[in-house]
A and B are shown apart, each in its own frame.
Chain A
Amino acid sequence: MPLQSSPVLSYRDDFSFRNSPAAIRRFPFPFVEDSYLYSVNIEPATSRDPGSIYEHAFDIDEHYRSEMAERALVLDKDPRRYLVMPHMQVAAWDALQMIMQHLAADYPQSFSLTQNGERWQWRNHLLDIDQHFIFGDATSLPCAPLEYIGRQVQGDFALLDQRDGDLYMDAGLITSPADWSLAFDAGMSFKQWHAPVPMAHQMGVFERALKYLLNLQVGQPVRRLNWTLTINPRLDSSPETFHEWGADRGRITAQNVGQQVHLRVELQVMARLPRSHAVMFSIRTYLISLDELVTQPGWGCRLHRVLRDLPDPIADYKGMTRYRSTLVEWLSQFDPHA
């Protein structure tokens, strides 16, 4: 499927980011019921629904160039968003291989990969890249492998080392986090980096999730959806820049709600990396303004009920406390029972 060549839109400053009608239709609305409660909600990451975000292992959409430009801005400004501990080199190459092979197979008009033993050639027509390199030799690439491929694929990536019956966040490229810091979380175990999440620990959610992930097999990835809200289509909603964007939460009014409040959905895919035995945790973020969202039948109504009834600790954790009542009030117009 040929990718549209759209102009580069921005996720900061003037926030020119918009979704086309096609992007709105394929947006992964995450709520299947009128209320939300944690569950492990993991499913096998098999290809389904051609044209949807689930068709390919790594989803490239109309925002590709915009997102790659944004990523470059974040990395150039703050190198702490990228980290690979020395023992994660093999995992980084595993990730490069997995991403390149899938992109070349799924989007042959945009990417191609030729492998001749260790001599590889990678072409990215969207960014005008033609790169010969030696697989496994970082000096043959302009930068280290995870950063190299990370600058050419949408989504954040964390590489988790599996050891001592646990998973450790020992590498990653994270430029669009929903309020968490790779620089701080680096080196943490699975439960440690999930420590701030309210309510889920008592429910045993993380015990079950960890057990499941430790048993991931090569070729059998799994996925789940995660969601939160963001003011403006700001991809980089990191703790690092919170002092720059946090105040936006206090500026929501009944007039600007539809334009400024965005639903942020993460497609999280967990895959076993073959040679390193590490787990690749990829986080592909989709943003939609509420004005765009309510054009889809039923979405406004369902979102109203979810946000109205969301337990306070979860609402606070997702950062919506200051504008929640304004938001719920605005959404009630889409709910026939409100």
Chain B
Amino acid sequence: MEIKYEPVLRVVDLWKSYEDLEVLKGVSFDLAEREVKVIFGPSGSGKSTLLRCINMLSPPDKGEVYLSGQNLIAPSVNINAIRARIGMVFQHFNLFAHLKAIDNVSLGLRRVKGLPKEEARVKALETLERVKMAKWADHYPAQLSGGQQQRVGIARALAMEPDVILFDEPTSALDPELIGEVLQVMLDIAKAGTTMVVVTHEMGFARAVASEMIFLDSGIILERGTPEHMLTSPKSGRVKFFLKQIDILYGRHEELIKLPDEDENK
């Protein structure tokens, strides 16, 4: 990939293993400002680990991560200050259970960015408005649906105005009918120019906003390319098979119709 200017995020030859299990085996990519990168692949392929290596929640064994040119692996780096510039949205939301939606969003603004209480509150409310959750500001996470919780989770990351936001399968723990509202918010912020790395199997989202898709398999990048390329004419048989499985899951493939033979029972 050609780089015209300093990428926001640069991942170079990342390796990570858990005991004997090699999860990442040399993953590299660059992410330009306002770019949306979609990472997909089978479970266990290292997608989540890749994100967790980027913000050092699980530091990589080998390789380098640069945020706007700054090497995060360097021993002198203040990782807390770096993480404040890398947002993260979790599969299981991980909202702070004892705090209302608004306080979930304002906590980082107050304690990490040092904003005064009132300023943090105003900013948190504005951000909740962006994800259409301002009405629910005074609700606790347990009083919200999964989709609503995830929108608060996105607001929590967004409010910090990070250089990049990492999304770790943000819709895969949601009921099907709640996925739409979360994807809509993600589309909105992507179109507004948020730089994003998104691990997801939502191909509609990828088609709409991804600048590049990366297929991860067994810890390596098996294939990468534009959504047009990846979704219509991938070279690898593994990618084709994977996409077909997703199509079947979403009922867009004829094999689904073949599977249940209802006429036999009538």
> Is chain B a partner of chain A in the same complex?
no
A residues sitting closer than 8 Å to B (CB atoms) are: none
